[in-house]
Structure 1
Amino acid sequence: MKPLSLLYHVLTGAFLGYKALMLVNNAVAFPRLRPQPPLPDVRVSLLVPARDEAANLRRNLPGLLAQGAAEVLVLDDGSVDDTAQVARSLGARVLTGEPLPPGWVGKPWACQQLARAASGDVLVFTDADVSWHPGALGAVTAQWQRAGADLLSVWPRQRNVTPGERLLTPLAELPLLLLFPLPLLLFPIPSASAANGQVMVFRRSFYWSLGGHAAVRGDVLEDVQFAYRVREAGGRLSLALGQDCIGVRMYRSYPDSVAGFGKNLLAVHGGRRGRLALSFALVFAIYTAPWLWPLPGARWLRLASVAERPLTNFLAGRRRPADLAEGLLGPLTPLLMLPVYRRALRRQVAWKGREYRQ
């Protein structure tokens, strides 16, 4: 075997072996939420930042209001639709967002205002597109209490309906389930941090000890940065899968997925555009190239490229035939991600009518 071929064989084998190890580890170790009644001795504030979210609130706010929290607050962040009217008519307390200050990203500013108005000992930030099912709040607070967490973050189970949204949206879970070594949360290593802004559960006192969302005011990837700040300050971070308790429909089409992933991808790579190029080269070499050329170990690489998504979906609780059939997209995924990489390379990123410099 030629030296270059041997190097390719060793590197791809090591990368896929690491992913397989993480998948097995997380399948055993990852906490999963189970529905249960709310804890009677915990005062919870459910907090929803909302910008042009009228349609999502109509679907999801009733389930949130039915959880039995002490309060449900919705912040209307300069919406041009009837977000405020819908939230108010359904029974939530609605706050009118203040203008975005210099240096702030929209979502951290909305969350900061919500936290200032909240009265709970536990602050639960959740997005408007997240669905809370019966027993979800009890499951969340029980896991938060069991873990002794200063921050608990939950990955809702994805609900992908149209073929377009299936192309990329399920990739949101892959970094967590295939790359993140969960046991590192047991050690004081701040860089070993992960979080999902769709559901963030804070101990109120610890949240304000960090300054609230002001600690991540300028970060587009504010959830992961907040997790890092929590661990850096000596706080306890816990993660969980939403399973039957909490779900989400993130994007409604392939273009929506491109826009959503495109705003975060550069931050995921530490703001380094060179890392973006290396990242694309890696995934293309592993998942697409073996189908185009007779590379070393091509047979096993082809198998891995179609098996990865079904295995991850199964672990995340998505086990319908259509979910498992997503594996066929594996070899095409790097090509489908090209518009995301191109968007991430821009100096300005747009999201919900606002532009941020990268």
Structure 2
Amino acid sequence: MERPALPSPALIGRVYRSLALGWLATKAAVLLVNAVTFPRLRPGTPAVRPRVSLLVPARDEAQTLPGTLPSLLAQGADEVIVLDDRSADGTGEVAAGLGACVIRGQPRPDGWHGKPWACQQLLHAATGDVLIFVDADVTWHPGALDAVLGELERTGADLLSVQPRQHNVTPGERLLTPLVDAAVLSYFPYPLIRLPQAAAGMANGQVMALRRAALEGVGGFQAVRRAVLDDTAFARHLKARGGRLAVALGGDLIGVRMYGSYPQSVAGFSKNALPLHLHSRPLLLLGALAHLGVYTLPWVVRLPGWRVLRVAGVLERMLVNVLTGRRRPADLLEGLLGPLTPLLALPVYLRALRRTVTWKGRTYRQDSRQE
């Protein structure tokens, strides 16, 4: 009995080329859609100014707050509250010295992760009608608060989150950190957020503006108390209960410096990698192999379509930066990292395969969909 013939190398090459080019073409189409439809914050004053609380969950941020908190205090909100989440570096004292109202975080109840519990405490402490939760590493420029309130008013959203513009200082920060923008802008077509299905929801926890009535109506952050990727989980929970979502690019008004080095980027991304892959380790591994095959392999082996794949892989990251307003020469040159990025991301995937992740000195299990 004859054995079935194996696929020829030429056939394998053609299949590879079709899949790789299809991948890149799909992402390019999503980028094009988002270039046209993704909202940007713009200066302006809302017609009605609600009472606003700016709320900062902070754990071991004593080095960060002097560079970011003054700009937040200058926005003219009715109150700025910093929750010192049991820091070991004097975060609360630094925040109080800068002029913020500081509350001390209470011990976490069983079953709560750090950030959802911090945000739940801030919800109870705040008095505003609009509650804006802001990470400690986010910088607000003049007019940012009015722009956020104007966008919230324009969209009628119950939750508006903002994608701050990345500010990377050291070479190590540029290796992986800008991929936050690529993950949003090349994989999620913004018009999907208008669909009623909860799965078509997303949010960025760095800046989340919520109407108090909507937040209290879903029980605060109780439903995502054990979620590592709590921002998107909360957005989908809110949407499933009739809430309206919106997202906007921060542009010139809101920026962020997420991580100060490549190792910090690896640690930060690895805690979110598994939830982003639907808590599926096979899907996580498939994603790693796919990125290696599309972006790195064409620079190692001259497979069919290698020239097009090389150019497309480099241009993609440049286009993402242009779309977010990162257009300086150093920012555009990040595109040259395209072939190396899947290799640089391998430590992220390896850490994400573990049963636990560690962040801010706390260890969380990630063996369920609520992790």
Shorter-normalised TM-score: what interval? Answer: over 0.9
Deviation readout 1:275-309 (Å, 9 max, x if unpaired): 11100110000000011111111111000111111
| 1:56 Cα deviation after fit | 1.2
The answer to whether structure 1 residue 282 and structure 2 residue 290 are counterparts is yes
Deviation at 1:339, TM superposition (A): 0.6
3-state SS of 1:326 partner: helix
Partner of 2:5: none
Give the drift of 1:204.
Answer: 0.6
What letter corresponds to residue 220 of structure 2 in structure 1? G
Deviations 1:97-129 (A, max 9, x none): 000111111000000000011111101000000
Is 1:6 equivalent to 2:14 in the alignment? yes
The equivalent position to 1:252 in structure 2, one of 250, 253, 260, is 260
Q: What is the one-letter code of the residue matched to 2:105?
A: G
Structure 2: which amino acid aligns with 1:252?
Answer: G
**Correspondence for 1:264:** 272
Corresponding residue for 2:215?
Answer: 207
SS of the equivalent of 2:285 reads helix
Q: Partner of 2:190 in structure 1?
A: 182
> Which residue identity lines up with residue 341 of structure 2 in the other structure?
T
Counterpart Cα distance in 2 of 1:171 and 1:254 = 12
Asked if 1:88 is matched to 2:88, the reply is no
Q: Does 1:102 align with 2:110?
A: yes
Check if 1:326 corresponds to 2:331. Answer: no
Amino acid at match of 1:56: T
The aligned counterpart of 1:157 is 165
User: 2:145 maps to what in 1?
Assistant: 137
Q: Pick from 338, 342, 345: which aligns with 2:346?
A: 338
Match for residue 238 of structure 1 among 218, 236, 246: 246
Q: Matched residue of 2:338: which SS?
A: helix
- The aligned length equals 358
Question: What amino acid sits opposite 1:7 in the alignment?
Answer: V
- Counterpart of 2:123 (choices 112, 115, 131) is 115
Instruction: Report the alpha carbon displacement of residue 13 of structure 1 after superposing the two structures with TM.
Output: 1.7
Deviation at 1:4, TM superposition (A): 2.0
2:359 corresponds to: 351
Correspondence for 2:29 among 21, 30, 53: 21
What amino acid sits opposite 1:78 in the alignment? R
Normalising by structure 1, report the TM-score: 0.98
Amino acid of the structure 2 residue aligned with 1:286: V
**Residue 251 of structure 1, CA deviation:** 0.2
* DSSP 3-state at the match of 1:98: coil
SS state at 1:55 partner:
coil
Per-residue CA distance 1:72-105 (angstroms, 9 max, x = gap): 0000000001111111111111010000111111
Distance 2:266 2:195 in 1: 35
The whole-number CA distance in structure 2 between the counterparts of 1:315 and 1:44 is 30
Alpha-carbon RMSD across the aligned residues, in angstroms, is 1.1
Q: Give 2:28's aligned amino acid.
A: A
Contact kept in structure 1, 2:84 and 2:105, CA below 8 Å? yes
2: CA distance, partners of 1:5 / 1:305: 18
Offset at residue 3 of structure 1 (A): 2.9
Residues 38/61 of structure 1: CA separation in 2 closer, same or farther (3 Å cut): farther
CA distance in 1, matches of 2:44, 2:253: 9
Residues 159 and 247, structure 1, Cα contact 8 Å, conserved in 2 = yes
Structure 1: state its 5+ residue gaps.
none
Report the AA paired with residue 268 of structure 2.
Answer: G
| Structure possessing the higher radius of gyration over alpha carbons | 2
Say whether the 8 Å CA contact 1:185–1:237 is kept in structure 2. yes
For 1:225, which of 217, 224, 233 is the aligned residue? 233
* 1:45/1:123 contact within 8 Å kept: yes
Q: Which moved more, 1:334-343 or 1:38-47?
A: 38-47
> Offset at 1:38?
6.2
Note closer, same or farther for the CA distance 1:134–1:37 as it changes in structure 2 (3 Å cut). Answer: farther
Gaps of 5+ in 2: 1-8, 367-371
Q: CA separation in 2, counterparts of 1:34 and 1:41? A: 16
> Equivalents in 1 of 2:201, 2:301: separation in Å?
37
Structure 2 counterpart of 1:54, from 46, 56, 62: 62
Range that drifts further, 211-220 or 8-17: 8-17
Find the residue that maps to 1:125 and give its secondary structure.
strand
8 Å contact from structure 2 (residues 193, 202) kept in 1: no
Amino acid paired to 2:23: F
Q: Is the 2:45–2:150 contact (alpha carbons within 8 Å) kept by the matching residues of 1?
A: no
Cα displacement (A) at 1:8 = 1.3
Alpha-carbon offset, residue 2 of structure 1: 3.2
Alpha-carbon shift at residue 39 of structure 1 (Å): 5.7
Match of 1:198 in 2: 206
Matched, 1:316 2:293: no
Distance, in Å, in 1 between the alignment partners of 2:284 and 2:47 is: 44
- Alpha-carbon displacement from aligned partner over 1:11-42 (angstroms, at most 9, x marks no partner): 11221111111111111111111233466531
Matched, 1:168 2:176: yes
**For the residues of structure 2 that align with 1:231 and 1:16, how far apart are their CA atoms?**
30
Question: How much has 1:184 moved relative to structure 2?
Answer: 1.4
Aligned partners of 2:235, 2:293: CA distance in 1, in Å?
32
Q: Provide the TM-score with structure 2 as the length reference.
A: 0.95
